Amino acid sequence: MRLDSKDREIVEMLQKDATYDAIAERLGITESEVEERIRRLSDTRTKILIVDDELDTLLPLKRALEMEDFNVIEAQDGIEALEKVRAEIPDLVLLDLMLPKLNGFEVCQQLKRDEATSATPIIMLTAKGETSDKIEGIEIGADDYVTKPFDLAELKARIKAVLRRTAP
């Protein structure tokens, strides 16, 4: 569970029994966003963002992780992935390499370059599996690298390992 500065203020104000509209006024955001943030804050499960343009790959992975009690959100292209990371602040990103609009490397690079998102761990997923791809992925800051088709148990183990390693 990761909190940004606004989340922390909301928590503080809630402890002082502030109303939603007061919080919205204080932070300069809409009331619905305050509600959304509170809903998100109330979900204490670990949040994972899966980025893959292949719905057939994305869906079983999502189901499997949900069954492990992860809060799973999804994105189908590079741009959407960047938006989701910024809005949802996931605890981990599973990032496919071949994506429309922005490919996995570019997404990874942008996330690592941005201070707000640089701490978010990234596991790269790809069907290519060539050594040069792996090296490039690690060099631009990916935390781990899994090739398709992967073993679900192994992927889960790696997710947990990365989360443990990068826990705040």
Partner 1 sequence: MKVKRDNRVVILVICIILICVVTSLGFKTHGEVEEIVQEQFNEQQLLLARQAALGIAGFADERVTIIEILARDRSGDEIANLTRCFKTIYEETSGFYSIEFIDANGVVVYGYPEYRAPVGYDLYAENRSSAFDSARDLRKTKISSPTPLFEGGLGSFIWVPVYKGEEFRGVILAIIRMSTITDRFLAPIMQNRTGYVYMIDHNGKSLYDGARREAIGKNYIKMLNENSTSEGWLEILNEQINGSEGTAVYLKERDNESKSEQIVAYAPVRWRDKIWSVAISVPASEVDHLIRSVYARQMIFLGTVIAIILGGSLGLIAMFSRWNKTLEAEVKSKTGDMIRMNKELLLANERLKELDKLKSDFVSMVSHELKTPLAAMRTSAQVLNMGGAGEETKREMMDIILRNIDRQTNLVNDLLDLSRIESGRMDLKIGSVSLDSVIADSIESVKQAVSEKGIKLNVEIPEGISLVKGDREKLTQVVINLLNNAIKFTPRSGEISIKARELNGQVEVKVSDTGIGIPPEDLDKVFDKFYQVDSTLTREAGGTGLGLAICKGIIEAHNGHIWAESELGRGSTFIFRLAKCG
Which residues sit at the interface with partner 1, rule CB under 8 A?
53-54, 56-57, 59-61, 63-64, 67, 77, 98-101, 126-130, 147-153
SS3 14: helix
The sign of the CA dihedral 94, 100, 102, 104 is positive
Question: Which lies closer to partner 1 via its Cβ, residue 21 or residue 60?
Answer: 60
Dist CA 108 CA 118 (whole Å): 9
Question: Which lies closer to partner 1 via its Cβ, residue 30 or residue 100?
Answer: 100
Dist CA 24 CA 52 (whole Å): 34
Q: What are residue 55's DSSP bridge partners?
A: none
Assess whether the previous peptide bond of 168 is cis (omega < 30° from 0). Answer: no
**Min dist. Cβ of residue 160 to partner 1 (A):** 16
**Min dist. Cβ of residue 100 to partner 1 (A):** 5
Could you tell me how many helices (H) and strands (E) the chain has, helices first? 8, 5
Question: Which lies closer to partner 1 via its Cβ, residue 28 or residue 149?
Answer: 149
**Min dist. Cβ of residue 45 to partner 1 (A):** 16
Question: Which lies closer to partner 1 via its Cβ, residue 40 or residue 101?
Answer: 101
Question: Which lies closer to partner 1 via its Cβ, residue 58 or residue 140?
Answer: 58
Give the neighbor-by-neighbor strand order of the sheet with 144-147. Answer: 71-75, 47-51, 92-96, 122-126, 144-147
**Min dist. Cβ of residue 148 to partner 1 (A):** 4
**Min dist. Cβ of residue 128 to partner 1 (A):** 6
